[in-house]
Amino acid sequence: MKTKSKFQMSKISITLLSLLLWSASSAAIDSKNIAIVIHGGAGNIKAAQLSSEQERAYKLKLEQARNEAYATLANGGTSLDAVVKAITILEDSPLFNAGKGAVYNFEGRHDLDASIMEGKKLQAGAVAGVQTVKNPIVLARAVMEKSDHVFLAGQGAEAFAEQQQLSLVDNTYFNTEKRFKSLQKAKQSLLKTSWNQTDKDLEIDYKMGTVGAVALDQYGNIAAGTSTGGRTAKRYGRIGDSPVIGAGTWADNRSCGVSATGHGEFFIRFNVAADICARVKYQNLSIQAAADQLIQQELANIKGSGGVIVLDRQGNIAYSFNTKGMYRAFKNNREEHVAIY
């Protein structure tokens, strides 16, 4: 009877070790534990302001974005794929303040911002002040994956988009009658008073309406993204929190993923998205408790308005907002939901 050589035994050992490692890795991956949560902006959204047809239109678009993103995950797509899928659908809809439905700046044009982040290696990409990119979230992902940078702005970002052969459009593509009327109302108010007083007086969603998504894929990775047209009648190249990594967008597999919407200046100052995940990571808070601490307490105490959506690696979902409403929807392996108020 022949005995196996040391070389053969070594090969068998390596094979067994590989199988054990593969089994351990497979056990850590739960193909059923996928989830998606999206938002279409938080603000002064009242039931009395929306007709039944308008409310139905918002919910249908939220459901479409949620369901197509979830299908992406269910078919083996990554969390980044799902986030981009959801946000491009919302960017292409005139209902939301991103992409096609973006608000106007003071000069009557549209400046678009977006960011995206993945939680495995903490890579991120962001763009600000772009005027000809059809889907800014796609450009943000390209910055993350195909450049050496994290944040590009203005003409440089658009030149990179052209180099990457992304869809470019004339700035008038983003025009909508609803947003134009909001611009006229905001400008009339600004001519009479200060920004602070305008914040209090205007009953229009002129500084909010950002869209965002956070996803968990079957590989255990979290991704988050945010896209916006900013605030109506913004001037001087103003940039809010949406493209700012840590303020409007954050993702870390060790804690959670967050996309924010609201009065961007406050979210930047308080580094809201990253702070929520830091509280989960270092204080062992639930994502709901961490979100509520920032939104319902700290921001509310200084009259900072807005909201967040949050998702952790177990597929738990949370949202918190201190405004009249927030367009939102989610789906995981246990339930699905869509709501406005």
What is the Cα Rg of the chain in Å? Answer: 22
Question: What pLDDT does 206 receive?
Answer: 45
In three-state secondary structure terms, 198 is helix
The sheet carrying 124-130 orders its strands as 151-153, 124-130, 112-118, 222-228, 211-216, 35-43, 325-331, 336-339
Question: What pLDDT does 282 receive?
Answer: 98
Show the tokens assigned to 151: 């944040």
Q: Is the separation of the CB atoms in 223 and 118 below 8 Å?
A: yes
In three-state secondary structure terms, 293 is helix
Question: What pLDDT does 197 receive?
Answer: 52
List the pLDDT tens digit at each of the 341 positions of the chain.
444 554 444 444 444 444 444 344 433 455 679 999 999 999 888 888 899 999 999 999 999 999 999 999 999 999 999 999 999 999 999 999 999 999 999 999 999 999 999 999 999 999 999 999 999 999 999 999 999 999 999 999 999 999 999 999 999 999 999 999 999 999 988 887 655 554 544 444 444 579 999 999 999 999 999 999 999 999 999 999 999 999 999 999 999 999 999 999 999 999 999 999 999 999 999 999 999 999 999 999 999 999 999 999 999 999 999 999 999 999 999 999 999 99
Q: Is the separation of the CB atoms in 98 and 211 below 8 Å?
A: yes
In three-state secondary structure terms, 309 is strand
Alpha-helical runs (H) found in 51-210:
52-74, 79-91, 136-146, 154-163, 177-192, 195-201
Question: What pLDDT does 153 receive?
Answer: 98
Question: What pLDDT does 2 receive?
Answer: 47
User: Is 210 a residue of the active site?
Assistant: yes
Q: Which residue among the candidates 210, 226, 228, 249 is catalytic per the annotation?
A: 210
- Amino acid symbol at 175: N
A 10 A CB-CB count for 155 gives 12
Question: What pLDDT does 80 receive?
Answer: 98
Question: What pLDDT does 191 receive?
Answer: 80
The strand ranges marked E within the chain are 35-43, 112-118, 124-130, 151-153, 211-216, 222-228, 249-251, 256-262, 306-312, 317-321, 325-331, 336-339
In three-state secondary structure terms, 195 is helix
Give me the residues paired with residue 330 across strands: 37, 337
